[in-house]
Amino acid sequence: MRWTKKFHNIKNIVVDYTNFLSSYYHRLFFGSLIKKGRKFFAFNFFLTVKKLLKKKEHFDPYLILFVSLLHVTPEVLLGILPLGSVRYGVPLPINEFKRITFAIKWVIKLSKDKLKRLKPIDISNLLLEALYWKGDSINKLLEVYNIAEMNRHLVRKLFK
């Protein structure tokens, strides 16, 4: 098999997987906005966020959402290890779908913590800050990584 054919096969697999992940991000993001069966509110909210992203960046809002959530996606999760009276956060690997879920939860929770109410402008600002590696969501990710780095020596005690 020639290398060009291999390249096209690999490219098709990667593109299909990327499309699947981006659709998974969008479905989870939209689903996290639904509260008590208010799908119409969530749909309008999601459309408003897309319009604001398009207006600010003049680019595809789905791609902006996908890339900014990829920037916020964690590689490890902190598991709890109680030693004495102290509870340590120990880094544990997580699968792809839990990573996506945690990224979306962080973005939604950070926007709720700021003003106690979701607003499309706040969500779009958080996503744009994450797109450029700035803001509260990136700080949350770095905080998790710093705690995981400090407590990585405790992993061996977790599995004894």
Query: Which position has the higher pLDDT, 2 or 107?
Result: 107
* Domain residue limits at 150: 3-158
Domain count, the chain: 1
Buried b (16+ CB within 10 A) or exposed e, 10-40: eeeeeeeeeeebbeebbebbbebbeeeeeee
The bridge status of strand 86-93 relative to strand 76-83 is antiparallel
The pLDDT tens digits for 17-49 are 566 666 677 677 777 776 656 777 777 888 888
In this model, does residue 3 exceed pLDDT 60?
Answer: no
Radius of gyration (C-alpha) of the chain in whole angstroms: 19
- Quick one: pLDDT at residue 151? 85
Nearest to 72 by CA among 112, 131, 155, 117: 131
- Which tokens is 154 given? 């405790």
What per-residue confidence (pLDDT) applies to 2? 46
DSSP label of 79: E
Q: What are phi and psi of 154, to 5 degrees?
A: -85, -5
Residue 4 has pLDDT above 50, yes or no: no
Q: Which of 12-26, 27-41, 58-72, 138-152 has the highest mean pLDDT?
A: 138-152
Average pLDDT over residues 149-155: 83
pLDDT number for residue 52: 92
Q: What is the pLDDT of residues 82-132, one digit of tens each?
A: 888 888 888 888 888 788 888 888 887 787 776 667 788 888 888 888 888
Q: What is the CATH number of the domain that holds 108?
A: 1.10.455.10
Ordered DSSP codes for 12-57: HHHHHHHHHHHHHHHHHHHHHH--TT-HHHHHHHHHHHHHHHHHHH
Q: Give the pLDDT confidence score for residue 8 in this predicted structure.
A: 53
Per-residue pLDDT, 7: 45
List phi, psi (to 5°) of 68.
-65, -35
71, 138 in Cβ contact below 8 A? yes
Taking residues 72-79, report their average pLDDT. Answer: 85
